[in-house]
Structure 1
């Protein structure tokens, strides 16, 4: 079986973070300097208590020229409150949406999609910051070379699945698209090969052209 990549395999270990007492301008400067869209907010020995993002800072600019009316204040209580905030503790989204280093990449991707975030702080069992994983990090697996992908499919899929006919199976990978050709003995394993090959991190799609060898009718008479 292919070994799934985890968040630990692709995350960024050096993370810029701020404390709850970090001031508005300090946060804005850090976001610009480090070219990120959000910063983990940590306290104590690195426990993540929230995340402050560009979106959390924007209401201050949005309401800079005019004060919101009563209806708008009621409709956008969160944004109007942030417009008057001056530090990370007041601006941050808390609790933070985090992920563990052992989570698979699909699990991290689902978290991002469900919570509409672009990056996730990576924390250990105690909630201590260990890294950060972004959408771009999750796409790193698609940078694997075609030769590397072909070698993994042969080793993790073809050889264990077709030990007898493995030499008759050809694996070609072009731009992340794998094509399986050749003859095998067990028709039931052909769709299994497709599923396992698709599970290899970095594979874009699978074209399975494997054919089954017809059973011999020779009785030896």
Structure 2
């Protein structure tokens, strides 16, 4: 009788241990499951960090959003004004309203500014229908076309070509810095041989404006420092 009881207790203990092991293997966050979840979390965090770093490396035109709003305002103003004039003359009809809407849309397309962005080794100009990009480290020519609206033309060794308003660079020192860094790399490789002085003029002008802003913020006058500033 004692032997049977001992065997029964052994069987019960074995069953309890088996159940406990089964529960431990299926619990989330333990064993191989925890390792897999941890690896997945690390991979996801790494990918997110890489994406955030890549986005942080891209700089853009800080005045672009304001110019877009101005273009929308001009187009809407034209549309409203012609509707008011037509309505006052009792000549407003659906076909005429569609015509004014089309003209306003054309005005917006004309006024819509190109968006200039730059990252490590590249500069892109995006318009409504197309985006062009050059590799700044492979630039072969930089040319400033004068005229009614000055345009800065960039070409690289891959045959890519972009045009942009030079004012975008003067208004955005970070964009100019990215372009200048890539141009220096291209010049060191012996690729950029024409247009170096053009970029130097832009960088010198940007440095002068930055220095003037520092003097104005500190209450000094450019050219007056030290004893001269105190005497004034």
User: TM-score by structure 2 length?
Assistant: 0.25
Larger helix proportion, structure 1 or 2? 2
Larger strand proportion, structure 1 or 2? 1
Higher RCO, 1 or 2 (CA under 8 Å, sep at least 6)? 1
User: TM-score by structure 1 length?
Assistant: 0.25
Which entry has the higher C-alpha Rg, 1 or 2? 2
